[in-house]
Every structure is written in C-alpha cells, then in structure tokens.
Structure 1
Amino acid sequence: MEIVSSRKITTFLMFEGNAEDAMTFYISLFDDAEVVSISRYGAAGPGKEGSVQHATFALAGEQFMCIDSPVKHDFTFTPAVSLFVQCQDEAELDRLFAALAEQGAVLMPLGEYGFSPKFGWVNDRFGVSWQLNLPA
C-alpha cells in the first residue's frame, strides 16, 4: 500500500473497526464530499479482512485520511483536537449539530457565546470532536 497525498499536512483519523462507517457518515453531511481512495485489508491481514487499511476522503475541499487499526489501543479521540466547521448559515449549523450529536455527546449546546452568534461543540458517535460555528 502506498500512501499518496498532495498536501503537506492532512488530518489522520484512526479507528478500530468503524472507519468506513465514519467516513460514509461524514460524507453524507457535506455537499462537496467524496471518497478519494480506499484500500482494504485482505485475508492475510494484519487487519480484519475487508476493513479499511487506508482511505482518503474529502469534506468541503479538505482531505482527511483514516484507517482501521489492527492494533487495539488504550486511547481514542479527544476534544483537545477537533474539526472546526464554519457554517454557511444557521440551517446548516442546526442540521450538522443534530446529525453529529445523535448517539454522540454535546460538549457545548447550541447558543450565543460572545465570540459567535451561534456555536455548538459535539463529540460524534465515533468519538471525533466537532466545533460548529456561525460566523458573525
């Protein structure tokens, strides 16, 4: 497997078995989104056959990489690093917040926080942290 990216720095998300579910979910949320490439583990492993060995996907013009790690880890995602989304309008912010919060955890409920007329922060059902902002 060769990892190719035209970007110097790319956000890399490591999952333990649900990388494709997460990627598919994220792509469903944004109009300008696609799977750029995907390779899967074969019968020889080391990961579960058919799971994501490496994938690249794009959301709103930004590329992300993800994998299903064949190794179990004692860590997962943390809100200390989050994906910050500048929403086009209130409807987009509300839609994204509702979808990402479903089966996830709200860290900051939707509201006006002084720095933004409307802002919300959630961990989605996969543990990835998202800050959603409506610019002033």
Structure 2
Amino acid sequence: MTKFSPCLWFDGKVEEAAEFYVDAFEQSKINAIDYYVDSEHQPKGSVLTITTTLAGQEVILLNGGPEFNFTPAISLFVECETETQINKLWETLSHNGKVLMEFGSYPFGEKYGWLEDQYGVSWQLILSRTPQSIAPSFLFTGDQFGKAEEAMNQWIEIFGEGKVEYVQKNPDGTVLQALFTMHGQPFRVMDSGIDHGFTFSMATSFYVYCKNQEEIDHLWDAVTAKGKEWPCGWMEDEYGVCWQTVTSDMEALFNNSDPERAYRVMQELYKMKKIDLAALRKAYEE
C-alpha cells in the first residue's frame, strides 16, 4: 500500500467522475465504494467515497457537498510515455474543461499542457517517455509565494523517508520547479510570483496511511503545531495543505455490511478531531 493518496472532494457526481477517470487513465480501476450510514451530512445510503486506482496511484473521491472548490494550487502532474497516450488523455480530460496552459511544445518539454477538467480538478500533462504516472504538484502563490522549498523540506522532515530529487530556482531564489519523494512517492512544488487569486483548498487533501496510534499522534502534533485541527482526522499545515490520518484497518471499522456497527463507529468519529483508534474499535465492538 502507498503511504499517501490524493483525496478529491466532490459535490455530487462522484460516481460519474470515478467512471470518467478510470476510463481516461491506464492501469485504472474502481477498488471500493463506501456509503453514508447516517443522514447528517448526505442522504443515508448515498456514496461517501469511491477508492480508485489511476495510472497505478490510489485516488479517493469523496462525496462531501458544496463547501469546498478545487483550485490549481494543487494539481495532479501526469507523466506520459507516448504521444498517442498524452494526446488521448488531453482530449479526454479537456472535454468541457478549461485550458490553463495551452497543449504544445515548451522549453521544458516537447509536449505539455495544464487544464481543469469538467469537475474542476487540475491536471498537468507532460510527455516524459516514461510509463504513465501521477504525482501531486503544489503551486505556492499569493501569501504562500516563496515558501515552496521550505514546505518541501518540512514535509520530508515530518513524514519521513524523503529525498529531494532536484530543485530548479528562479533568479530571485524561489523555486521554478522541484521534485521530491516521500516513502518512494513523487511530489512536486513550484513558486509563482503572480497573484492568481487562489490558494490551497480542502477540496484536495491527502490520506496518510499510518501504522498505529503513535504515528497518528506524532503527525498530528507536527502538522498542526502551526496549522489547524479539523474534525475526523483532518489536519491543516501552516501552508494551508490538508492531510488526513488513516490506518489500513480503519476501513473494516466502517464496513457497510454491518450498518449498526458502522453507524456507531461513524458517530464516534464525528466527535473527534485527532483520530483515537481505541475509541473507534470500542464503538465497533459494543
């Protein structure tokens, strides 16, 4: 299992979007669908999350409601192996979408483009001549301008097992582009001195799969030290990027095959900010 998984917050159309993305990418499938067991946030029985694999990367689609909107501050950077592959992906994702950077040749790539798809999710596509893959990319702009390198180093320190692969600087010392890995997964950061009028949003967050309560406690304290605590295991760092602490066995606690148990666990979860695994397991066993 990967350590990090992007989580995309939708206001409805989550099933439609899941099918759209699975059809668009190679090595893709729908892995699991979870449903609301109460009616506090969405109608009972409606889709809560859809877990997909896209180009070998787990991506969670959350049916959360209208509270948050996607912004290009976080995009998904897709490397493509062939011209046929990238042309098809651009055509599919740009349908009814919005082009942010025209699809064509640039000094940094023989074929590249940046777009928002019909659901508002931001994608960067580049012909890299390597197997299709997806990496989150963070754009530091507005009040966050100039903090890309600092954030990259801080995330590596907090989440561990990280390495800076390369950094390309602007003349003023800010980051033109940088690639780093954490737990073997690639991430990208960039600075932009243009005030685009957007910043990071909870519409794109990241599952962090933790081994145990000790790791949850450590990450929670480190991330929220200068950030914010949110309900249900969501934590916002000082840059405004949101992360969710989960464990691989938590899915079993919310299993819809036993609605009464799932309801009890969900009600316990709603009481929490930081995840308390013992409390969730107790609610499951009652």
> TM-score of the superposition, structure 2-length normalised?
0.43
Q: What is the distance in 1 between the residues matched to 2:96 and 2:45?
A: 25
CA RMSD of aligned residues (A): 1.5
Equivalent of 1:39, from 20, 34, 40? 34
1:92 aligned onto 2:118: no
Match of 1:134 in 2: 127
Q: Which runs of 5+ in 1 are unaligned?
A: 1-5
Paired residue type of 1:82: S
Equivalent positions of 1:10-25 (< 5 A) are: 10-25=5-20
Larger radius of gyration: 2
3-state SS of 2:81 partner: coil
Match of 1:106 in 2: 99
User: Taking CA–CA contacts closer than 8 Å with sequence separation of 6 or more, which of the two structures ends up with the larger relative contact order?
Assistant: 1
Q: Which runs of 5+ in 2 are unaligned?
A: 130-286
Match of 1:122 in 2: 115
Paired residue type of 1:93: I
Residues 13-69 of structure 1: CA distance to partner in whole angstroms, max 9, x if unpaired? 010111111111000012311111111235x42313453212211011100111111
Percent identical pairs in the alignment equals 38
Match of 2:244 in 1: none
Q: What is the distance in 2 between the residues matched to 1:113 and 1:48?
A: 47
Residues 73-101 of structure 1: CA distance to partner in whole angstroms, max 9, x if unpaired? 1x300111111111111111111111111
Paired residue type of 1:108: M
Report the CA distance between 1:7 and its aligned residue.
3.0
Aligned length: 128
Match of 1:3 in 2: none
Match of 2:57 in 1: 62
1:27 aligned onto 2:28: no
Greater share of helix:
2
